[in-house]
């Protein structure tokens, strides 16, 4: 720790008394505990303030750190150094007058020490008592016995000051280090208060509510919002959604609906609201009752780990395996599009089996939000206890669709994939062709018209 860092510590500690004066007025039990733990450390503040200059250098070995008046010995040598430099200024003026060399100057370098410099146009005026020391292109440098004598005193004083300052700084730093435990307690108290204030400020600015915490396992959120997404869109345009999960009839929610409709945002906001409530924060909702959970598991998004030879699907299965092994009936599980990284029937089979396993109270029984494009899974609600169907409301307007972002009860067997492709700007010719292939698949099962030419031949044969 250097001198600047000590000053930064001092500046931080000077705010503690004011902070404590506010905490003293608080009625909260938690804030009272923080108040009691918070040490003002005014002895440390006084030590740093009385010893360290306001703007010290970064290095602690070059002097210029200790304030005047703190150490008499340092002051004595510093005065000798200053007086010596004043003597140098006086000597320069005296030599100019005695020699008549108007541009004569006395300088200093770490290599050569103090010197008298005279330009070559005035060398004829240099007296015999000047001893040549160095030759430059346009000037000569000299010393005198008098200058050498004073140089020893000045440099000796400067070196002594630097050494004394370093030693004194080390002592000050060691004294402060004895208070590390006190500093850590206060730092932790300030950090805790900072978190609470941040949560309070966010809650106040964004209309959060205090959740009701319970141990009955119920998650009941009214008009929940995503705390990040709602800040990224226009005010008032975020669509709020309700959520109800329990440990009995509503353990698993199968959520269907098109891409971009808001399924992932909805599931994430439930997880975030649950987490925020458990850390003691208000939550973005009109009302919330949150049953305490032991873990929150998420399987959202996809990415390859090519460096270790693991595909998207392999990583997905590894994460699913971890969830199935570690989730309990008190956990919250968020699963998004399980099984999409492999063939349709493999993926559907895996997704179905995973949902069944999680819904089974004898195996996991965790509260789960399960988003999927496998519409066959909506049949689980009729066959599996604790499973209910939900979907994202969509409004069709001619050939276009409008995402209403509202989670409603009941499943859907519409994916609207081609509509989404159209919204994304896929060329019209591709969209038209995709619709023809879709109609062919829906009519003839797996039989697909191979290409446009084959399509035209079929039309001609049928006519």
Domain with 118 in it: what CATH number? Answer: 1.10.1420.10
Establish if 319 belongs to a structural domain: yes
Residue 66: closest CA among 156, 175, 154, 162: 162
Q: Are residues 215 and 92 in the same domain?
A: no
pLDDT of residue 23: 94
251 touches 365 (CB < 8 A): yes
Segments of 178-293 assigned E as strands: 212-214, 219-224, 241-245, 252-256, 287-291
139 touches 120 (CB < 8 A): yes
Helical packing angle, 29-37 and 180-205, nearest 10°: 150
CA-to-CA distance for 188 and 37, rounded, in angstroms?
A: 9
Ranges of residues in the chain whose predicted pLDDT is under 70: 236, 301-310, 398-399, 413-416, 419, 442, 444-463
Token pair 């941040």 is found at 198
Domain end among 113, 146, 173: 173
242 touches 366 (CB < 8 A): no
Establish if 21 belongs to a structural domain: no
Q: Which helix (H) or strand (E) holds 296?
A: strand 296-299
pLDDT of residue 226: 95
pTM value > 0.75:
no
Pairing of strands 400-409, 387-397: antiparallel
Domain span holding position 432: 427-463
Q: Are residues 148 and 258 in the same domain?
A: no
Q: Is the dihedral of CA 11, 16, 21, 22 positive or negative?
A: positive
Q: Are residues 96 and 134 in the same domain?
A: yes
Establish if 265 belongs to a structural domain: yes
Establish if 386 belongs to a structural domain: yes
Q: Are residues 434 and 375 in the same domain?
A: no
CA-to-CA distance for 339 and 357, rounded, in angstroms?
A: 15
Residue 318: closest CA among 296, 287, 341: 341
Domain end among 121, 154, 173: 173
Phi, psi at 298, each rounded to 5°? -130, 140
Establish if 205 belongs to a structural domain: no
DSSP 240: P
CA-to-CA distance for 253 and 230, rounded, in angstroms?
A: 23
358-407 pLDDT, tens per residue? 999 999 999 999 999 888 899 999 999 999 999 988 787 766 777 788 99
Q: Are residues 381 and 455 in the same domain?
A: no
Establish if 452 belongs to a structural domain: yes
Establish if 234 belongs to a structural domain: yes
pLDDT of residue 447: 46
Q: Are residues 220 and 87 in the same domain?
A: no
255 touches 266 (CB < 8 A): yes
Q: Are residues 364 and 279 in the same domain?
A: yes
Domain CATH for 272 = 3.40.50.300
DSSP 99: H
CA-to-CA distance for 244 and 328, rounded, in angstroms?
A: 18
Establish if 8 belongs to a structural domain: no
DSSP 250: T
Q: Are residues 255 and 391 in the same domain?
A: yes
Domain end among 147, 173, 199: 173
Q: Are residues 460 and 360 in the same domain?
A: no
Q: Are residues 139 and 215 in the same domain?
A: no
Q: Are residues 410 and 431 in the same domain?
A: no
pLDDT of residue 311: 72
Contacts of 402 (CB under 8 A, 6+ apart): 394, 395, 396
CA-to-CA distance for 293 and 278, rounded, in angstroms?
A: 8
CA-to-CA distance for 93 and 449, rounded, in angstroms?
A: 105
88 touches 109 (CB < 8 A): no
pLDDT of residue 449: 46
Domain total in the chain: 3
Q: Are residues 224 and 335 in the same domain?
A: yes
């Amino acid at each position: 720790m250097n001198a600047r860092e000590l000053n930064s510590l001092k500046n931080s500690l000077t705010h503690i008394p004011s902070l404590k004066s506010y905490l003293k007025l608080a009625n909260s039990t938690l804030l009272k505990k923080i108040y009691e733990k918070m040490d003002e450390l005014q002895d440390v503040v006084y030590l740093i303030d009385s010893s360290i200059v306001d703007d010290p250098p970064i290095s602690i070995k070059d002097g210029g750190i200790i304030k005047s008046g703190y150490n008499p010995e340092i002051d004595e040598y510093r005065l000798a150094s200053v007086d010596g430099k004043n003597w140098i200024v006086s000597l320069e003026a005296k030599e100019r007058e005695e020699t008549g060399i108007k541009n004569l100057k006395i300088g200093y370098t770490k290599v050569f020490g103090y010197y008298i410099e005279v330009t070559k146009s005035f060398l004829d005026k240099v007296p015999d008592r000047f001893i040549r020391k160095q030759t430059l292109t346009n000037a000569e440098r000299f010393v005198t016995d008098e200058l050498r004598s004073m140089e020893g005193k000045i440099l000796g004083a400067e070196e002594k000051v630097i050494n004394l300052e370093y030693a004194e700084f080390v002592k000050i730093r060691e004294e402060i280090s004895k208070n590390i435990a006190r500093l850590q307690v206060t730092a932790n108290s300030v950090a805790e208060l900072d978190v609470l204030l941040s949560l309070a400020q966010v809650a106040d600015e964004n209309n959060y509510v205090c959740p009701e915490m319970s141990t009955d396992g119920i998650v009941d959120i009214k008009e929940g919002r995503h705390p990040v997404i709602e800040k990224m869109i226009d005010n008032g345009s975020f669509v709020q959604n309700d959520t109800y999960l329990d440990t009995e009839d509503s353990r698993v929610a199968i959520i269907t609906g098109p891409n971009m409709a808001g399924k992932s945002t909805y599931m994430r906001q439930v997880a975030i609201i649950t987490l925020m409530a458990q850390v003691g924060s208000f939550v973005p909702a009109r009302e919330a009752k949150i049953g305490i959970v032991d873990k929150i598991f998420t399987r959202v998004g996809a990415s390859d780990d090519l460096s270790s030879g693991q595909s998207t699907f392999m990583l997905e299965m590894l994460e699913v395996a971890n969830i199935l092994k570690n989730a309990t009936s008190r956990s919250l599980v968020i699963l998004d599009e399980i099984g999409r990284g492999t063939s349709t029937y493999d993926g559907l089979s895996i997704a179905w089996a995973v949902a069944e396993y999680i819904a089974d109270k004898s195996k996991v029984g965790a509260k789960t939000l399960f988003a999927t494009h496998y519409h066959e899974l909506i049949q689980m609600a009729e066959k599996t206890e604790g499973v209910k169907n939900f979907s994202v409301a969509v409004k069709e307007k001619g050939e276009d669709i409008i995402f209403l972002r509202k989670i409603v009860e009941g499943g859907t067997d519409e994916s609207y994939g081609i509509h989404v492709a159209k919204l994304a700007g896929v060329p019209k010719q591709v969209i038209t062709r995709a619709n023809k292939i879709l109609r062919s698949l829906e009519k003839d099962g797996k039989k697909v018209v191979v290409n446009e030419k084959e399509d035209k031949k079929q039309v001609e044969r049928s006519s």
